[in-house]
Structure 1
C-alpha cells in the first residue's frame, strides 16, 4: 500500500483533526493499493467525524479502512498449508 504524497500531507496537518477535516483537505488524494486505488474520502466517510490526535492515528485509520483491494491474494498466508488445489514443495515438519 502506498500513501504517495498523502503521507506528507497527513503528517503536516494540524492535530487533533477529524475525518471530516481530512476529507475536506485531502479527500481526492488516492491511496495506491496492490489491486487498485481508493480516495481518502472513500476511506474516511464511514468514520463519521472520528477525531485523530496524531498523524499516526490518521494513517492507522487509513490502514484499517482499506478494502480487499489492499490484499494481494485473498486467503493467502505464508504460514499455512496451500489452499486446496494448489501445488507446493512445502512439507510440514514432523514433530
Structure 2
C-alpha cells in the first residue's frame, strides 16, 4: 500500500531526526561575484546545496516563482531539480 504524503513526511523526518526544510529559491542575482548565473549555473548551485545537506535535510521546497520567470526553460530546470532530489 502506498503511504500518504503525511505518513511519508513523518517517516523521513523521524529518520533524519528533524523537521528541517530547505528552500531552493535559486536567485542568480544574489549569487556571489564570479558565480555562473546561467540556468546551468543555477542547476549546479541547487545540486550543490542538495548534495551538501541531503544527509540532514528531510524536505526541500523549491519556490515556483524563481523558476517560473525563466519560462519553459525554468520549468524544465525545476523538473530536473525535483528529479535530482527524488533520486537521492
Q: Given the two structures, how large is their TM-score scaled by the length of structure 2?
A: 0.28
* Rg larger for: 1
TM-score for both structures, normalised by structure 1: 0.27
Greater fraction helix: 2
Higher relative contact order structure (alpha carbons within 8 Å, sequence separation ≥ 6): 2
